Copies of this chain bind each other. A is one copy, B any other.
Amino acid sequence: MAVRGLILSVRLHPQKFSDLEEKICTPDQLRPKPDNSALVFGKYFTDHMLEVSWDSKRGWAKPVISPMHNLQLHPGAKVLHYAIELFEGMKAYRGEDGCLRLFRPDRNMARMLSTAKRSSLPTFDAEEMIKCIKRLIQIDKEWVPYSSTSSLYIRPTFIATDPSLGVASPNEALLYVLLCPVGPYFTSGFKPISLMADPQYVRSWPGGCGAMKMGANYAPTIYIQKQSELLGHQQVLWLYGADHQLTEVGTMNIFLFMLNKNGERELVTPPLDGLILPGVTRLSLLELARDWKEFRVVERTITMAEVIQAHEEKRLLEIFGAGTACVVCPVSSISYQGREYNIPRSEPSLSQRFLKTMSDIHYGRVQHPWAVDI
């Protein structure tokens, strides 16, 4: 009973927005803001960060906002050895009406909770966390770019910090949130990208963690991404299985807009079968398209053989990636088994329409429940 009582008391005291402690920069600690034209993804950080520490005995400590600073980590911290770490990526936008808005933060927090569980890290109160993040953005609000092509990228990060080399559940952890003003994710802007599709490299697999936003899903991809760049491509199209199923593109979900064999227009994206990340942008595009009711919207497995057949039969209208960093990113070509397949772009372009629709929501040109006031 005593043990059960302890567990309950930990659970009953999650981090609370009302406990938030704020240590604000002195004027000399404030840093100059970069020009919007100089915004490289994830290079510039704002003046403040949010931290909430946790340990298995006392549960969550109170959240603290303080000036951006280095972390002091024991060199034996589990995050540095066994990659017990996860993150989220979401954005805040400065509307054309001057209001600051978040895009569907509840979805990102729900995914963060499911990744935390799979990572043996503790769960937390998503609504309280969103309140704390909003407060962080309010404090650093001048860092939200005055631009409708830029935004403030929000990086909640969760790491295991206990200094012990046993491969075991962590007893100490730190959840922190960084903010970065960002321009377009790809330096080429909205220019279409070329993909390398090589089945010898596999990103995720059934029984693994491909649907989780764990750090562990990223490290193995970087060498392959480099191989694709050496071959003149911009991103990797990740395939899976003997039939070369399309799964993800780089760090994005993938969408195909095509005519099916009956000549009907169809938007196809791989299903949430555990192999791919359940993207918030992916979900949003599916919901928009289903709402439009103008073409078929299908979540199903799609193979390279089908893509090639559709390409040859001129049924392929458009392929694009979708994710928080880029929102929508058109694909110009796929290199596969020694051939280069040029991907057409439909006119009017569906990816452009999605981008415009999302952008109108992000920048407050239309009112939409997905855009949440800060």
Among A68, A83, A180, A214, which residue has the most Cβ atoms of chain B within 10 A? A83
CA A49 to CA B74, docked complex, whole Å: 12
Q: Is A81 an interface residue (CB 8 A)?
A: yes
Partner of A220, one of B43, B68, B214: B214
Decide: A155 near B159, CB < 8 A? Known: A70-B75, A75-B71.
no
Q: Is A119 an interface residue (CB 8 A)?
A: yes
Q: Would B169 and A82 count as touching, CB distance under 8 A?
A: no
A251 surroundings in chain B (CB, below 8 A): 167
Q: Is A18 an interface residue (CB 8 A)?
A: no
Decide: A176 near B75, CB < 8 A? Known: A202-B207, A205-B202, A205-B205.
yes
Q: Would A75 and B178 count as touching, CB distance under 8 A?
A: yes
Q: Would A80 and B225 count as touching, CB distance under 8 A?
A: no
Decide: A118 near B159, CB < 8 A? Known: A75-B71, A202-B208, A208-B205.
no
Assembly stoichiometry (copies) = 2
Q: Would A84 and B222 count as touching, CB distance under 8 A?
A: yes
A64 to chain B, nearest CB (A): 13
Q: Is A130 an interface residue (CB 8 A)?
A: no
Interface string of A66-110 (1 = CB under 8 A from B): 001111111110011111110100000000000000000000000
* A51 and chain B: residue at smallest CB distance: B75
Q: Is A346 an interface residue (CB 8 A)?
A: no
A119 surroundings in chain B (CB, below 8 A): 219, 222-223
Partner of A218, one of B81, B164, B223: B81
Q: Would B71 and A167 count as touching, CB distance under 8 A?
A: no
CA A66 to CA B74, docked complex, whole Å: 14
Which residues of chain A from 184 to 230 have any CB-CB distance to chain B below 8 Å in the complex?
199-202, 205-209, 212, 214-223, 225-226
Q: Is A153 an interface residue (CB 8 A)?
A: yes
Decide: A81 near B73, CB < 8 A? Known: A208-B205, A222-B169, A226-B169.
no
Which residues of chain A from 127 to 185 have any CB-CB distance to chain B below 8 Å in the complex?
153, 155, 157, 159, 163-169, 176, 178, 180
Among A40, A70, A220, which residue has the most Cβ atoms of chain B within 10 A? A220
Decide: A215 near B216, CB < 8 A? Known: A226-B120, A226-B169.
yes
CA A251 to CA B82, docked complex, whole Å: 12
CA A168 to CA B42, docked complex, whole Å: 11
A80 surroundings in chain B (CB, below 8 A): 71, 79, 85, 157, 159, 215
A206 to chain B, nearest CB (A): 7
CA A41 to CA B165, docked complex, whole Å: 7
Q: Is A45 an interface residue (CB 8 A)?
A: yes
A176 surroundings in chain B (CB, below 8 A): 75
CA A354 to CA B264, docked complex, whole Å: 67
- Sort A-B residue pairs by CB-CB distance and give the 7 closest, nearest first: A42-B165, A202-B207, A83-B215, A82-B218, A83-B83, A216-B216, A205-B205
Q: Which residues of A contact B (CB under 8 A)?
A: 40-43, 45, 49, 68-76, 79-85, 87, 117-120, 153, 155, 157, 159, 163-169, 176, 178, 180, 199-202, 205-209, 212, 214-223, 225-226, 250-251
A-B contact pairs, 5 of them (CB 8 A): A49-B75, A81-B85, A81-B215, A168-B225, A199-B207
